[in-house]
Amino acid sequence: MGTDARLAAVELCDVKFGWRNSSAPLLSIPEMRFEQGEKVFLAGPSGYGKSTLLGLMSGVLLPQEGTIRVLGKGWGEMSASQRDRYRADHLGVIFQMFNLVPYLSALENVLLPLKFSKLRAARLLDPEEQARELLGRLGIGSDLLGRPAGELSVGEQQRTAAVRALLGQPEVLIADEPTSALDADNRDAFLELLIAEVELSGATLIFVSHDGSLASRFDRVVQLADFRTVAR
């Protein structure tokens, strides 16, 4: 993708973040680094500021102190609209559930990020065809593509969300407990497919989960608890 290999995919430096009115920061991260192409398991029980950290990494939240860079560019250097554009260009996100816009079809959902990112759209010769192909590989058959996303099963929704996050090859993929709503079989299958596709595209995967049993499939494990400063 032409980016300097020495640049970190995501890099946090002396980051302190707290919600307003609370004097002590919720998160305090002296340093955290995710290399390009790395698959990292970010472990931590719920309530440990995972969502906040993801908000910070994706530039939706800004820290009170410190810098967060994605592919060398700090969120703080950009204006709000530049951040929105940059996020659309370089990040793919998968949530725990309700990933899809319910009134759009599976296919429309998958193609949605391309409307916000010309960069990602430009990487695809035929976006719709490539979306169908990727959906097919993740087990979303052509019979499901036209259906409103709300009618898909949870497993199908998560896989569709994964396709949406992967399409157009964003460099960083953030997955926020994407398997917690799935049963064991679906969970393993989903993880299998996700990791295969991430390896194929060369993206960095930051996978947040409290389910330690999944950690073995990743290159590295980061314990969020190590960065938590305030007692619950």
- The residue ranges that bind other proteins (CB under 8 A) are 51-52, 54-55, 58, 60-61, 80-81, 84-85, 87-89, 91, 93, 95-104, 108, 112-113, 115-117, 148, 164, 176
Distance CA 150, CA 128 (A): 20
Nearer to other proteins, 41 or 86 (CB): 86
Kindly report the backbone phi and psi dihedral angles of residue 198, in degrees, each rounded to the nearest multiple of 5, phi listed first.
-65, -40
Q: Which helix (H) or strand (E) holds 54?
A: helix 50-57
Task: In angstroms, give the least distance from the CB of 128 to other proteins.
Answer: 15
Nearer to other proteins, 36 or 58 (CB): 58
Task: In angstroms, give the least distance from the CB of 151 to other proteins.
Answer: 12
Task: In angstroms, give the least distance from the CB of 65 to other proteins.
Answer: 18
Nearer to other proteins, 79 or 216 (CB): 79
Nearest to 127 by CA among 101, 148, 109, 102: 109
Task: In angstroms, give the least distance from the CB of 186 to other proteins.
Answer: 17
3-state secondary structure 5-43: CCCEEEEEEEEEECCCCCCCCCEEEEEEEEECCCEEEEE
Nearer to other proteins, 72 or 102 (CB): 102
Task: In angstroms, give the least distance from the CB of 56 to other proteins.
Answer: 9
Nearer to other proteins, 61 or 193 (CB): 61
- For residue 142, the Cα-to-chain-centroid distance in whole angstroms is 25
Distance CA 93, CA 170 (A): 10
Distance CA 173, CA 198 (A): 8
